[in-house]
Every structure is written in structure tokens, then in C-alpha cells.
Chain A
Amino acid sequence: MPAVRIAKLFIAGSILGLIAVSAQGCARVKPYEREYLARPSMSANEDPGRARFAHHARGSREGAAGGTGKAGGGCGCN
């Protein structure tokens, strides 16, 4: 796989993300309106140990990976 193709795909993905930012950026919620958003249940960040084990279990039983910003693998459970 040529590195150039990988770079192009990554750049294309980044541009898509930036477009999403531009489209949504005008929706403003002020700091004093974020009481509910500050609750732990509203965070998409899972406990790291819990998330790691879930990725580990799924990585050894499913053909797909990714979508979390983290790479899976790294074990002989292939």
C-alpha cells in the first residue's frame, strides 16, 4: 500500500471532520447552560479499563475494528 494513498485517505477523513465542525460550530451553548452536559453519564469517555477489555474481547471475535480513535490488536488472540 503506497504511503501516498494512505495520506490521501487520512486527509480526506480530516476534511470531512472539519466540514462537520464548520457546519455545527454556530450552535452555541453558554457555559452556565452546561450543568447537564457536565454529568459523568453525558461523557462519551468510558472507563479506560472497561473500554480496553471490551475492545480486546471484540477484537478477538469480530472482523471490524476502529471508530474509537484507538487501535486494537497487540495480542495473540487473532
Chain B
Amino acid sequence: MQLTAPAAVALAIAGALTFLPRATRADGDVTVRGAYYKERSTRVIQPMADWRMTAGQSGEVTGHVLVDSITSASVSAGAAGEPFSEKRYELGAGYAQAIGRFLAGGSARYSTEPDYQSIFATLRGQAELFRKNTVVTVAVARGHDNITNAGAQGGLGGGVTIDGQLDTTLGSVGVTQILSPELVGGLTYDLIYLDGFQENPYRRVAAGGEFHPERVPDTRLRHAIAGSLRGFIPATDTTLFAAYRLYHDDWGITAHTPEAGVIQEIKPGIEIAGRYRYYFQTDADFYKPIYDTADPLMEPYITEDDKLSALTTHTVEVEVSALLSALGIEGDLGQVRVDASAGYLFQSSHYGNAVIGQFAIEVPFEAGL
């Protein structure tokens, strides 16, 4: 039985609200969220549910489930210029245990769609140092993906079966540092190594007067270092934040991502936030708008992937969050938090501008393990 995205959202909200009669204190919570993304030729609707609950004195169990419903005519989304619809299902679960000043945990997620399966596992450790003024986090993760165009809709595979496998390895180290009673900073360095099939099996590249399958390197080493500052102004109950990420990989892409925002408390339990994010990247060494030839000796790699071209994106977003008790609703229902956001993306790529909308309901419940 196929479940439509709106029906999945309704079902998830109904499921979350069944917790309400027992909602007396927050031993856990369920958040049901609906996310919407729309640009000129692609629309994504993603209903999801996340839950979190305590386990024993110092453990925490988390999980999530989502349906990713995409309708697109975009080649980069998996179709050769013909409209198609596809659903992706994802499940995830995790556990974390605090042991004194240390926290250790692991999580895994599985994602499946007709032409792509992925499994990912993460181990994470965290230590509080200097009387909890400093928190150091280390994470390692490993993923394995299977990709194929064998299940393509309406002959989008072009009659040629292309499949491959991709292994992803992540190493990450992060530091969060309290700088003053109103200021906290963070620094994260990620190293990501990809090994395997990284092409889009549907994408065709015009070269030498013919169309050819995309070719990109089998390996990719990605570095990202991100810093952030977050400060609170007590006089106005205002939180300010700023972040910057520098990215570089061995395909030749360098990207800069500054971001800033403000969160204003209107009254206790009600906040409004505004964010701006700028993204700029250079193109990959082998990216060309036009290839004169597809001869592997002349052009080892050919691609028409916009993500590998020089591009710029501006994102502006507004978010409102409210605890229902702050709106005058009493009882268990007053502990429910609702959150709505809307954003607009100005994209220089051929995808065009986009809108993003999200709506979420967070329901606390008493059900610690």
C-alpha cells in the first residue's frame, strides 16, 4: 500500500498526539515534522518523526523515521529530463550513555529507494573538561551505499544498466568552549573520504556531439572546518549567532559559508528567529560547461553536475516557535511546542530559486525505559 506524503504527516501527528494523555513530565519527546522544498522543476515533501527518551539513570535512546517524496524533471534528481516521482524511506536509531564526565554513544540509519540503498553507522564520544567549560567531541562513521539505475521509471536508465557501490568514512573532532557567562564558541573539523561510485547513473554529458555517461573520480577527500559564536543579550532576551565554514576537497572545490542569525524571545515560551546564510564555491578542476571530446585520454572526467560548478546561494529564513502554555492553553496540551519556519533560496545554479517550509509539533511524554 502506498502512503501519500500528506497522509503520512497526518498519521504521524495523530500518533504523536496519542502520547498527550500521559504527558506529565519530559522523560522523552516525540517531534513530528513536515518539510517542504520547491524549486522550478523539483518538489520534495518530507514527513518525519523523531523521538527521544531516557533509559535508566544516564542513558538516552533516540530514533527517527521519514518518508522523502520527490517529484522532479531534473536530471540531477535522477531523471533524464522527464518528470518522475519517487519515495525514499529512512529509519534511524541511536543510544548514548553518560559515564561521569564522559558520554559515549552510537547510532545507525538505513535508507532505501528504488535506485539507492544506504546504511550508515556512527560512534561518538564526548568529554567535559575544565569544570564543564570545555566539551570535546570525537566521532567516527562508516557508510555503504548501493546505487543502480535498473529500477528507473519509464526507461530513464537509457537501456544500459549502471550500478555501483560507495563507501564513506568520516572522522570528526569538535570543541565547544564557554567564553563568558553570555558567550559560547565552537570549532569542528570533519574529514570525509568517499571511495566508489559517485556519478549520477542517469546523468548524460554532451561531449563531442554525443551524450555520454558521467565520469568522475572514484575517490574524494573532503575537509571542512567550521567555527561558531553564540551570545546572549540579557537586557533584551536576544540571542545572536554567527558561524563560518571553510571547505576544500581534492576535486578542487573550495567553499565558504558564513551564516548569522538572531533569536528574539517575545515572551517566555515564544521565540522568533531570523537567519541568513551565504554559500559560495569554486568549480571542480575537471568541470567544464562544454567538453569538446569524451575521449578518456583527453578528458578523464566529464560532468554536467551543477554542484561541481562555481555557484552562489543566499538563504533567508524566519522561524516562530511557541509553547502552547505561553498561548494560554492549560494542562498537558500546554507542554506541546509548535514550530513553523519559511525560507527562500536565491540560487545561481540552473535549479533556480527555491522555497522551504517546515512545521513541527513537539510532544513531551513520560515513558523512560
A21 x B188 contact (CB < 8 A):
no
Q: How far is the CB of A11 from chain B (nearest CB, A)?
A: 9
User: Contacting A76 at CB < 8 Å: which of B147, B178, B232?
Assistant: B147
Known: A14-B173, A36-B182, A76-B78. A69 touches B139 (CB 8 A): yes
Q: How far is the CB of B112 from chain A (nearest CB, A)?
A: 10
B77 x A17 contact (CB < 8 A):
no
A22-70 residues with Cβ-Cβ distance < 8 A to B are 24-31, 33-37, 39, 41-42, 44, 47-50, 52-53, 56-58, 60-70
The reply on B120 being an interface residue by CB < 8 A is: yes
User: Contacting B226 at CB < 8 Å: which of A10, A25, A28, A68?
Assistant: A68
Q: How far is the CB of B359 from chain A (nearest CB, A)?
A: 11
User: Contacting B187 at CB < 8 Å: which of A20, A37, A50?
Assistant: A20
Interface size on A, residues (CB 8 A): 55
Known: A20-B187, A44-B230, A56-B68. A67 touches B111 (CB 8 A): no
User: Contacting B257 at CB < 8 Å: which of A47, A52, A64?
Assistant: A64
The reply on A9 being an interface residue by CB < 8 A is: yes
The reply on B136 being an interface residue by CB < 8 A is: yes
Kindly state the separation between the CA atoms of A67 and B339 in the bound complex, as whole angstroms: 25
The reply on B118 being an interface residue by CB < 8 A is: yes
The reply on B172 being an interface residue by CB < 8 A is: yes
Main secondary structure of the interface of A (DSSP, over half): loop
Complex interface: chain B residues within 8 A of A58 (CB): 279
B88 x A41 contact (CB < 8 A):
no
Complex interface: chain A residues within 8 A of B178 (CB): 27, 29, 34, 37
User: Contacting A50 at CB < 8 Å: which of B77, B118, B130, B360?
Assistant: B360
User: Contacting A41 at CB < 8 Å: which of B139, B189, B265, B308?
Assistant: B265
The reply on A4 being an interface residue by CB < 8 A is: no
Known: A36-B232, A44-B176, A76-B78. A13 touches B349 (CB 8 A): no
A63 x B253 contact (CB < 8 A):
yes
Kindly state the separation between the CA atoms of A35 and B180 in the bound complex, as whole angstroms: 11
A66 x B181 contact (CB < 8 A):
no
Main secondary structure of the interface of B (DSSP, over half): strand
Kindly state the separation between the CA atoms of A4 and B241 in the bound complex, as whole angstroms: 37
How many Cβ-Cβ contacts under 8 Å join chain A to chain B? 246
Known: A6-B193, A33-B181, A76-B115. A39 touches B147 (CB 8 A): no
Complex interface: chain B residues within 8 A of A17 (CB): 136, 173-175, 187, 189
User: Contacting B239 at CB < 8 Å: which of A28, A42, A74?
Assistant: A42
A66 x B224 contact (CB < 8 A):
yes
Known: A66-B247, A71-B141, A74-B120. A25 touches B172 (CB 8 A): no
B351 x A61 contact (CB < 8 A):
yes
Known: A57-B37, A76-B88, A76-B115. A69 touches B307 (CB 8 A): no
Complex interface: chain A residues within 8 A of B263 (CB): 41
A13 x B189 contact (CB < 8 A):
yes
Q: Per-position contact with A for B246-264: 1 when CB-CB < 8 Å, else 0?
A: 0101010101010000010
B136 x A63 contact (CB < 8 A):
no
A61 x B307 contact (CB < 8 A):
yes
Kindly state the separation between the CA atoms of A77 and B86 in the bound complex, as whole angstroms: 11
Known: A56-B68, A61-B313, A74-B145. A47 touches B46 (CB 8 A): no
What 10 A-B pairs have minimum CB-CB distances, sorted nearest first?
A66-B224, A76-B116, A67-B226, A64-B255, A66-B190, A64-B247, A74-B118, A67-B224, A41-B239, A13-B189
Q: A36-B181, A77-B76 are in contact. List 9 more A-B contacts (CB 8 A).
A: A20-B177, A21-B129, A27-B179, A31-B131, A48-B62, A53-B37, A63-B255, A64-B255, A70-B122
Of the A-B pairs whose beta carbons lie under 8 Å apart in the complex, a sample of 8, sorted by A's number, is: A14-B189, A20-B187, A27-B133, A27-B178, A31-B132, A52-B66, A70-B122, A76-B116
